[in-house]
Amino acid sequence: MHYTMLGRTGLEVGEVGLGTWSFNSSVYGPLAERDAQQAVHRALDRGINFFDTAPLYGDRDRHGVAEAVLGRALALSRRDEVVIFTKFGRKPTEGNRANFYGVYAVESVEESLERLGTDYIDVLFFHSPFSDDEIHDDVWEAIDGLKAAGKVRFIGHSISKIQDTQQMAQKWAQERKIDVVQVVCSLLNREAKTLIADLGAMGIGVVAREALANGFLSGVVERESVFPQGTLNARYSRREIVERVEQVERLSFLVRGEIGSLRRRPCVGFLIKRISRWF
């Protein structure tokens, strides 16, 4: 594992991290907790030291399921040897609606700390705000209070709908309100290329999420693959699945021996230092 500094945060992280969206969630189909915990332990064994989670990673009855699973899996680890990202602003139990205001931020962080079994969060991300109108002014004061209390170290923006929200990320970066961003970035989606360059020049840490294109770059998806109803990839038609698989095949000369070797391993997110080779 190669390690690098995450922007100006001073956090030293591996070039590969483990995302937890699939932990006890239906996003990629059923996953038993023992398998999720095994994925965390195998990640640690291989030098992975940063983990990404969120209260949204749960189901309609329980939010924060992935945080709780991750917290239990890391229970025997030395806290100073791992970097934990989590988010706030959306919960599945509340219909995923936006809640980016002060009281909610504090409540969400307190709940996340309890589930994760820790007393601080390394990076707290706004979870996919879709417009400036969703951000309440009091959220920044609340965040400053959480940082002053030592409960949150750095602030990030997990970006969705990039065309609508990239200006928000740039503005927050210029105002030094955020230290890190997460963007969708993979060989199949390079929409964030310009934003990555702009924010990187400001010293913002950039983390690529969905770096394996929701599994299509993992080497396990085939033309005939069928995704269970209710899972994320069930949104694709048969034609779209075939097109994406063919696209991956055309790119195989870039990933042979690297992405291809990830068969049967946990899905991972790549830091931008690794992604940057692909442009």
Give me the active site residues, please.
Answer: 57
Burial of residue 116 (CB within 10 Å: 0-12, 13-18, 19+) is: buried
As a whole number of angstroms, the distance between CA 134 and CA 218 comes to 35
266 secondary structure, DSSP code? P
Full DSSP string of 21-88: TTTTSSSSS---HHHHHHHHHHHHHTT--EEE--TTSS-SS-S-HHHHHHHHHTTTS-GGG-EEEEEE
Q: Where are the alpha helices (DSSP H) in the chain?
A: 33-45, 65-73, 102-116, 138-148, 162-174, 193-201, 238-250, 252-255, 272-275
CB atoms within 10 A of CB 6: 26
269-279 b/e (C-beta count within 10 Å ≥ 16 → b): bbbbbbbbebe
Burial of residue 64 (CB within 10 Å: 0-12, 13-18, 19+) is: buried
Q: Do 143 and 100 form a contact (C-beta atoms < 8 A)?
A: no
**Assigned token pair, 134:** 């969703």
Residues in Cβ contact with 129 at an 8 Å cutoff, skipping those fewer than 6 apart: 89, 98, 100, 135, 157, 165, 168
